[in-house]
Amino acid sequence: MFFTTNNISILENKLLINKTKVAIIIPGKKILLKKMGKIIDDYNEVIRFNSAPTKGFESYVGSKTTLRIINNVIFSQSDENREHNKNDFTYSDKKILVITPKIFTESEKLNLINKETEYFFYNRVHHQEIFNFFLKQRLFPISAINHFYNLFFYKKFLSIGFFSINFLINIGCKLTIFGLDLDENMEERSNYSKAWKIGKSHNLQLERSTLKKMYKKKLFEII
């Protein structure tokens, strides 16, 4: 089953997230500093990104996943990953949100989806995301200007992690973020499970700067 929209409000209604106790798992190496698996699994919602695995890391990152948020590149590799039995992420995830600027055809979706998983496709409209997250809420106008500037002049889009945090805050979720290092040098960032090449589509340092402001406003907790 899959559902497609470019409307964030409709996406909120379709996802049916329990907003009272939501854990977001950031796949950086910081999360391996403490064994928080049991605490993470106690949350109503546990949200993971892209190909971040749980197998072999359960004591640190938990085993529960209620929603996995992936980009179009990871989704496009779904068939290849299954064919080669890669354990990049578990295909037993029951709910997957695909955030994508690419509009997949119905036949492409049918070829790539796992029939036992519920899929939601959000077709990105980049400038609307920034408007909804910052200007509409009258939060951080300078940050909004900086993100608009990076979008229009440098083609720097919001990363799915940054998008997801803002989306979940905007729909009223009480967020606890595990593994987030606000002082991390994003040019040297690494994934807890494997080497990770830093992409050039996002301004991750600007996103970290904005997250610091959000944290000071107590819009989420960090563990």
| Element housing 40 (H / E) | helix 37-41
Task: Give the pLDDT confidence of 101-155 residue by residue, as tens digits.
Answer: 989 999 999 888 888 889 999 999 888 888 888 766 667 888 888 999 999 999 9
Type of residue found at 178: F
- Could you state, in order of their start, the residue ranges of all structural domains in the chain? 2-125+159-193
φ, ψ for residue 68, nearest 5 deg: -115, 130
Residues 46-96 pLDDT 10s = 999 998 999 999 999 999 999 999 999 889 887 665 554 444 454 568 899
Q: Cα-atom radius of gyration of the chain, to the nearest Å?
A: 17
What pLDDT is attached to residue 85? Answer: 44
Reference 71, options 108, 97, 38, 107; nearest CA is 97
3-state secondary structure of 97: strand
- 153 backbone dihedrals φ, ψ, rounded to 5°: -100, -25
User: Which residue in this structure is represented by tokens 């106690």?
Assistant: 42
- Catalogue the E-assigned strands of 105-214: 118-123, 175-178
User: Is there a contact between 148 and 130 (Cβ–Cβ < 8 Å)?
Assistant: yes
Cite the beta strand spans of 58-170 per DSSP E: 67-71, 95-100, 118-123
Its CATH architecture, for the domain 2-125+159-193, is Alpha-Beta Complex (3.90)
- What digits encode the pLDDT tens for the residues 180-219? 999 988 877 778 987 767 778 999 999 999 999 999 999 9
Q: Which of 167, 164, 178 is CA-nearest to residue 223?
A: 178
23: CB partners within 8 A, 6+ apart: 40, 43, 45, 46, 47, 62, 175, 176, 177, 178
